[in-house]
Structure 1
Amino acid sequence: MSALPSAWAWLTSAAHWSGSDGIWHRLGEHLFLTAVCLSLSCAIALPVALGLGHLGKGGALAVNISNAGRAVPTFAVLVLLLLTPVGGYGQWPTIIALVLFAIPPLLTNAYIGMRGVDPDVVRAARGMGMTGGQLLRRVEAPLALPMILTGVRIAAVQLVATATLAALAGGGGLGRIITAGFNLASTPQVLAGALLVAVFALLVEGVFELVRRLSPSYGRDGSG
């Protein structure tokens, strides 16, 4: 039996969907890990990007520094964290590594979106007496929303794919299906795990693209 039919047979087996090692459980772990890392990354990157974009100062340096960090492989960061006193097997080393991995696209796209707001609109809002905070909340951030959501979508999809590394640190997620397949020398299981990750990533991208298209600011800057 060739690889794809064997992987399909593995996926369609009811026994592989239930239990603590089943697909549903591993998918839930993967979704939780992705959501936690994405939330933490947004909480760190977006306020910085919005603030710097509003001020128009220091943003280029912050973006360049964050993008330079992307040159360091996430796996290398994970290994280094495992060797530190705060490391050890479990979720936290993976969460830290994935958060660092997700910050650059969030920071870059949000900052570009803020700086791409029409200066005439900003001047008009200031002429109406808006304060800096009001300008940021009511004008700049809504107009930058398509680019912000693009960054969130990119980060989310990358996190779904990269969260498989959690299995190497003793964490959960779909990566455990792949690593278990390697341990068992089961090519169908390895391929099935990879297909699950790929489909999950495509679904996440589709959801975020739908949200972006339904956002009130979609198309105001000519995107889409």
Structure 2
Amino acid sequence: MTILDQLGQWLAEPDRWSWTLPAGIPYRTLEHLRFSLLALAIAAVLTIPLGGWLAHHRRAPFLATSAMNISRAIPSFGLIILFWFLASRWGADTRFWPLLLALVALALPPLFTNTYAGVVALEQDVVDAARGTGHREWQIMLRLELPLASPVILAGARVSFLQLIATVAIGAIVNDGGGLGRYIVDGFAQGVPGRGEILGGALAVIVLALLCEGVFSLLQRWATPRGLALQNAARSES
């Protein structure tokens, strides 16, 4: 039996398309997205206000570059193992917290760096004009700088989210859930008979990542203010 035959047999198994049973691809997809979206939301709450405030006041510019360098150096699997060890020592739920904390840690640097860079890159004349009309500093940051920097911030969120999608799959090694990565881990545990499940899980993760990439591209285009989009188009044509 070829690997494609095994894949077809695996896809045709009962409950494979169930939304309520762990064997179902929809069930595992929602589990995958739930971890990824929760981690991204927590990271956004922690980084966007801080990054926007620091960029508005032009403070700690080294943090932006340091954060991105740190994100390249941190091993995803190593973080999961570290948090799993700490959770097991402290009696916490090892099926939830190690993976979530590792995901949040991985999502923080790109979001912070892009928030800082997006606000700093804005033309100072626009900010000075807002000050001249009587806007307070917090109003400038919330109503002007962050909305105008939203395309750059969303670009950071897209990078973070794709990394989270990949890391959730890796997390299945130490997590009873693990989303779509559960199929890959279970397939390897079966040996040769599990090759179809491995391929199915890998394809499911790839498709999910591509769909999320497309959604974030649309969100980034939608979040770009019309005037800024026209300005960018004029620059590209000139």
8 Å Cα contact 2:10-2:197 kept in structure 1: yes
Return the alpha-carbon distance in structure 2 between the equivalents of residues 221 and 62 of structure 1.
30
Q: Report the 3-state secondary structure (helix = DSSP H, G, I; strand = E; otherwise coil) of the residue aligned with 2:107.
A: helix
Q: How does 1:156-195 map to 2 (within 5 A)?
A: 156-172=161-177, 173-185=179-191, 186-195=194-203
Q: How does 1:34-53 map to 2 (within 5 A)?
A: 34-53=36-55
8 Å Cα contact 2:187-2:195 kept in structure 1: yes
Return the alpha-carbon distance in structure 2 between the equivalents of residues 147 and 221 of structure 1.
15
Q: Tell me the number of residue pairs that the alignment of Structure 1 and Structure 2 aligns.
A: 223
Return the alpha-carbon distance in structure 2 between the equivalents of residues 179 and 55 of structure 1.
47
Q: How does 1:10-159 map to 2 (within 5 A)?
A: 10-18=10-18, 19-58=21-60, 60-70=61-71, 71-84=73-86, 85-86=89-90, 89-159=94-164
AA aligned opposite 1:131: R
TM-score, normalization by structure 1: 0.91
Return the alpha-carbon distance in structure 2 between the equivalents of residues 221 and 155 of structure 1.
27
Return the alpha-carbon distance in structure 2 between the equivalents of residues 170 and 26 of structure 1.
13
Is structure 2 residue 232 aligned with structure 1 residue 222? yes
Structure 1: gaps of 5 or more residues: none
TM-score, normalization by structure 2: 0.86
Return the alpha-carbon distance in structure 2 between the equivalents of residues 45 and 214 of structure 1.
22
How far apart are residue 34 of structure 1 and its match? 0.8
Q: Report the 3-state secondary structure (helix = DSSP H, G, I; strand = E; otherwise coil) of the residue aligned with 2:131.
A: helix
8 Å Cα contact 1:164-1:176 kept in structure 2: yes
* Percent identity of equivalent pairs: 36
Q: Taking structure 1 as reference, are residues 126 and 200 closer, same or farther at Cα in structure 2, changes over 3 Å only?
A: same
1:17-58 CA deviation, whole Å, 9 max, x = no partner? 233222121111111111111111111111111111111111
What RMSD in Å do the two structures reach over aligned CA positions?
A: 2.0
